[in-house]
Amino acid sequence: MPRAKPSPMQRLLWLPMILRRAALAKLMAEDPELMLLDESQEINMGAKQYEPSQQSQGGRYVSDPGLTDYVSEIGQRLARVADRSLPYEFVVIDDSTPNAWALPGGNIAVNRGLLTKLNSEAELAAVLSHEIVHAAARHSAKSIERGMLLSSVLGVASAAIDQRAGNYGRIFEDGAQLGAQFIVSSYGREAELESDAYGMIYMVRAGFDPEAAVSLQETFVQLSKGQSSNWLDGMLASHPPSQERVEKNRQTASRLKQSARQDLIFGFDRYQSMLNRLSQLSPAYNQTQTALIALKAGELDQAESDIQKALEQTQSEAQIYSAAGQIAMARKEFTQAQRHFSDAIKINPDHFRYFPRSRLGGQSTGAKRRGTGRPSPKPSPATQSGRRTGLGGAW
């Protein structure tokens, strides 16, 4: 039987390394929409990275399940009118940094720190629809594909390719393992404008007033002026707002509202009602942030004083107990640190950073999940570093 004609990617892999980069540049110029990942691979890659990405960002916010259900409800309402059908999923992350992000295949997350900055259900819809477009338009997947090529992953993985079957599976397996590394922290201007424009279309289809996307960007433009590093580490750094986005959104909103065939809502009252519990906890979280800043500065007594004030306000939040544990460890109060981490584990037994075994000299506390007999979660390579990865589709 005659052998099948090799594909452009196979021919690229056969080239000596010194010629591969030139051939790669030519290949990408000839086919800028070249897809290394089909839809199933894209979905699988996002699914594999979803849990490690959540862990690296702070874990799921579990102390208010109703809030996650609400965010998911709004997200699914938008997903149903999106132009691309994907297994969309929405979670709330237990982190004060204002941020939201999307992985390939429709895995989307929003930090509780961003939820407290929004004013209405329609503004939440603006955030989620923007992330849906990033997933639907393959913005993250395209970035990963470029990273796989330009980082010579193909060259490293080429030895594992089954040439007879033309099987590229191992390349994509390696790509999934390196997904967190290749998911970039920001997108270009065109991708952002596209996500804004189509996101507003989805908003109108789902019954939300697109003016909320305008007010959202106006708020972020103002907040970007002289704002704290907490903001700059999150949404404003990964997707900096601009007056251009404000004006483009205003034009799009005007056009869409003229042709709308249904009443469009902002949902101020319902949003504030659903955020009531989290809003009440904001002072305690702000106090915790102050304590962690003092800890970083080496002001241990001040950090201890601040975290105690936070704990006086609430005993329901795992992140606050975790911060108390970190401060106690810095003060070499290891027994107290164990108590704080144990309290965090009781609230959320699924976040690896609350298990202090390695940080407390191998002591037994945290070696197993309390009451389950199961070992503590094993952090993935993406989470072991403790760094915040810049995730695809982050605001």
Closest among 93, 91, 88 to 106, alpha carbons compared = 88
Residue of 156 and 137 predicted with greater confidence: 137
Write phi, then psi, for 73 (nearest 5 degrees).
Answer: -60, -45
pLDDT in tens, 357-376: 445 544 444 334 433 444 44
pLDDT-derived band at 353, boundaries 50, 70, 90: confident
Q: What strands, in cross-sheet order, belong to the sheet with 100-103?
A: 89-93, 107-111, 100-103
pLDDT above 80 (res 29): no
Sign for the pseudo-dihedral over CA of 141, 214, 212, 119 = positive
Q: What is the pLDDT of residue 134?
A: 86
pLDDT in tens, 93-113: 999 988 898 888 899 999 999
Percentage of the chain with pLDDT > 90?
47
pLDDT in tens, 254-277: 999 998 888 999 999 999 999 999
Q: What is the pLDDT of residue 122?
A: 98
What's the token pair of residue 395? 């605001």
Percentage of the chain with pLDDT > 70?
64
pLDDT above 80 (res 391): no
Tell me which H or E stretch contains 143. Answer: helix 139-150
What's the token pair of residue 19? 């010629």
What's the token pair of residue 212? 């909320």
> Alpha-carbon distance 331 to 383, whole Å?
25
Q: What is the pLDDT of residue 392?
A: 46
pLDDT above 50 (res 35): yes
| Beta-strand pair 100-103/89-93 | unpaired
Domains of the chain plus CATH, in order, are: 41-140+185-270 (no CATH), 281-376 (1.25.40.10)
Three-state secondary-structure class, residue 387 = coil
Q: What angle do CA 202, 208, 212 make, to 5 degrees?
A: 100
Contact (Cβ atoms closer than 8 angstroms) between residue 314 and residue 281: yes
- Tell me what the mean pLDDT of segment 334-363 comes to: 81
Q: What is the pLDDT of residue 176?
A: 40
